[in-house]
């Protein structure tokens, strides 16, 4: 029997066991064809069915309207940092950005190559340990960009309604919390997310775009970076990452099977509540994140006595707790609670934390 492992990695991260099972079988024999999923042609009906189902599942799970197009693209979310402004922002126009962590900072840097960027709010001066509470978006802004969840610092916008009321198109990097909670996804004009947390495996990026905001910039856009070309070609403008898209389809199938976004949100709330309650109840641990901004996907915390940090990590490793070490830029610990992580894993690490705290009290 393989050892019991609890996977808290921040990304690439845990996927459902049944996805691994079906994917592993398809590597040898995809749908009884005698061919591997790794060797089928992307222009064949075999893969077209995969792409069609993946797109259909996104539309269903997110309850998207007819104006929203679903794309599976190369390049990771980091490519979207510049692809978004390239498609939406002219040189003499303004884009509004919220600055809430490393990834939003990188997005801001890329956007400055294509137009004027106005940072409407930032928590940088406080180490990104809370989310800024006040902001004003210029009415002339072509769009407002937000990062819904910050993996490194453990913050998450819990109430997104203020962003819906700004009167400008809303763009969101949802890489680390997409499909984890119920939202009105039609309030967003462009959503992008690296797949490797809640959607599938690394290698493909999910983009949902309101087609009505495209085609309004003056610049010439390279063929591969123009969203309209990808829409027209059904995400197959060139060879797509076939296996990564297939894993997305399987993961989206699993999410629908367990009840969709509403059902998984309830489980995610349970997981986050249990972990935060445990941290708050044990004096040896603490989280530095503002309570109202705590992420339900990435729980970041520290230990009261820094000398115990190494010992705690060694204890986690010995007990099969993987991925608990915090990001290199922030230190401490991080426990990621993505959709596929079972509640039992959270129960296991909270029991370990209680036992560790009792021994060190």
| Separation between Cα atoms, residue 217 and residue 201, nearest integer Å | 33
Examine residue 30 and state whether it is found in any structural domain, yes or no.
yes
Which CATH number fits the domain that encloses residue 34?
3.40.640.10
Q: Both 340 and 241 in a single domain?
A: no
Cβ atoms of 96 and 137 closer than 8 Å: yes
Q: Note the Cα 78 to chain centre separation in Å.
A: 12
- Of 103, 271, 296, 325, catalytic: 103
Which CATH number fits the domain that encloses residue 306?
3.90.1150.10
Q: Both 248 and 318 in a single domain?
A: no
Q: Both 139 and 101 in a single domain?
A: yes
- Of 99, 142, 157, 173, catalytic: 173
Examine residue 3 and state whether it is found in any structural domain, yes or no.
no
Examine residue 73 and state whether it is found in any structural domain, yes or no.
yes
Residue ranges for the chain with pLDDT beneath 50: none
Q: Both 93 and 194 in a single domain?
A: yes
| Separation between Cα atoms, residue 37 and residue 58, nearest integer Å | 21
- pLDDT value at position 67? 98
For the chain, the C-alpha Rg in angstroms (whole number) is: 21
Cβ atoms of 172 and 125 closer than 8 Å: no
Burial environment of residue 357 by CB neighbours within 10 A (0 to 12, 13 to 18, 19 or more): buried
Q: Which of 208, 237, 257 is the last residue of a domain?
A: 257
- pLDDT value at position 22? 98
Q: Both 214 and 224 in a single domain?
A: yes
Examine residue 9 and state whether it is found in any structural domain, yes or no.
no
Burial environment of residue 46 by CB neighbours within 10 A (0 to 12, 13 to 18, 19 or more): middle
Q: Which of 257, 274, 299 is the last residue of a domain?
A: 257
Examine residue 6 and state whether it is found in any structural domain, yes or no.
no
| 301 φ/ψ angles, rounded to the nearest 5 degrees | -155, 165
**Residue 173 annotated in active site:** yes
Instruction: Give pLDDT tens digits for 284-330.
Output: 999 999 999 999 999 999 998 989 999 999 999 999 999 999 998 88
Q: Which of 230, 257, 284 is the last residue of a domain?
A: 257
Q: Both 209 and 66 in a single domain?
A: yes
Instruction: Give pLDDT tens digits for 213-244.
Output: 999 999 999 999 999 999 999 999 999 999 99
Helix 343-360 vs helix 309-318: crossing angle, to nearest 10: 140
**Residue 197 annotated in active site:** yes
Examine residue 251 and state whether it is found in any structural domain, yes or no.
yes
- 3-state DSSP assignment of residue 204: coil
| Separation between Cα atoms, residue 333 and residue 331, nearest integer Å | 7
Q: Note the Cα 114 to chain centre separation in Å.
A: 25
Number of other CB atoms surrounding residue 151 within 10 Å: 25
Q: Both 161 and 103 in a single domain?
A: yes
Q: Both 70 and 173 in a single domain?
A: yes
Number of other CB atoms surrounding residue 241 within 10 Å: 20
Examine residue 86 and state whether it is found in any structural domain, yes or no.
yes
- pLDDT value at position 1? 65
Q: Number of folded domains in the chain?
A: 2
**Residue 59 annotated in active site:** no
- pLDDT value at position 329? 83
Instruction: Give pLDDT tens digits for 116-129.
Output: 999 999 999 999 99
Enclosing domain of residue 337: 259-360
| Separation between Cα atoms, residue 220 and residue 229, nearest integer Å | 13
Cβ atoms of 86 and 58 closer than 8 Å: no
- pLDDT value at position 244? 98
- 3-state DSSP assignment of residue 206: strand
- Of 99, 177, 189, 197, catalytic: 197
Where are any strands of DSSP class E within 105-227?
A: 116-122, 144-147, 149-150, 155-156, 170-173, 190-194, 205-210
Q: Both 273 and 239 in a single domain?
A: no
Q: Both 343 and 306 in a single domain?
A: yes
- pLDDT value at position 285? 97
Q: Both 286 and 172 in a single domain?
A: no
β-partners of residue 73 are 205
| Separation between Cα atoms, residue 145 and residue 140, nearest integer Å | 14
Number of other CB atoms surrounding residue 332 within 10 Å: 19
| Separation between Cα atoms, residue 220 and residue 90, nearest integer Å | 11
Q: Both 190 and 313 in a single domain?
A: no
**DSSP string for residues in 235-269:** T-SS---HHHHHHHHHHHHHHHHTTHHHHHHHHHH
């Amino acid at each position: 029997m393989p050892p019991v492992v609890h996977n808290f990695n921040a990304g690439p991260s845990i996927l459902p066991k049944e996805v691994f099972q079906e994917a592993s079988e398809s590597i040898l024999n995809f749908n009884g064809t005698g061919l591997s999923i790794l060797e089928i042609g992307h222009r064949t009906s075999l893969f077209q069915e995969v792409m069609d189902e993946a797109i259909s599942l996104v539309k269903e799970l997110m309850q998207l309207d007819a104006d929203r197009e679903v794309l599976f693209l190369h390049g990771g979310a980091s490519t979207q940092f510049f692809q978004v402004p390239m498609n939406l922002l002219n040189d003499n126009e303004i884009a509004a950005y919220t600055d809430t962590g490393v990834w939003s900072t990188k997005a801001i840097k890329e956007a400055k190559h294509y137009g004027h960027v106005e940072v409407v709010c930032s928590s940088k001066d406080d180490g990104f340990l809370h989310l800024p509470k006040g902001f004003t978006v210029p009415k002339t802004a072509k769009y407002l960009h937000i990062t819904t969840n910050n993996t490194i610092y453990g913050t998450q916008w819990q109430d997104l309604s203020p962003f819906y009321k700004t009167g400008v198109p809303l763009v969101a990097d949802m890489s680390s919390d997409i499909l984890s909670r119920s939202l009105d996804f039609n309030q967003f004009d462009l959503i992008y997310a690296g797949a490797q947390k809640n959607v599938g495996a690394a290698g493909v990026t999910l983009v949902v775009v309101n087609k009505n905001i495209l085609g309004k910039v003056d610049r010439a856009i390279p063929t591969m970076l123009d969203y309209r070309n990808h829409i027209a070609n059904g995400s197959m403008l060139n060879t797509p990452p076939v296996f990564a898209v297939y894993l997305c389809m399987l993961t989206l199938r699993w999410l629908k099977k367990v009840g969709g976004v509403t059902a998984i949100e309830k489980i995610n709330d349970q997981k986050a509540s249990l972990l935060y309650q445990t941290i708050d109840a044990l004096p040896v641990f603490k989280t530095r994140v503002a309570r109202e901004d705590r992420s339900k996907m990435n729980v970041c915390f520290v230990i009261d006595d820094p000398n115990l940090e190494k010992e705690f990590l060694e204890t986690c490793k010995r007990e099969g707790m993987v991925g608990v070490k915090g990001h290199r830029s922030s230190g401490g610990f991080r426990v990621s609670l993505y959709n596929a992580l079972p509640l039992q894993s959270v129960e296991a690490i909270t029991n370990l934390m209680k036992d560790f705290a009792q021994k060190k009290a």
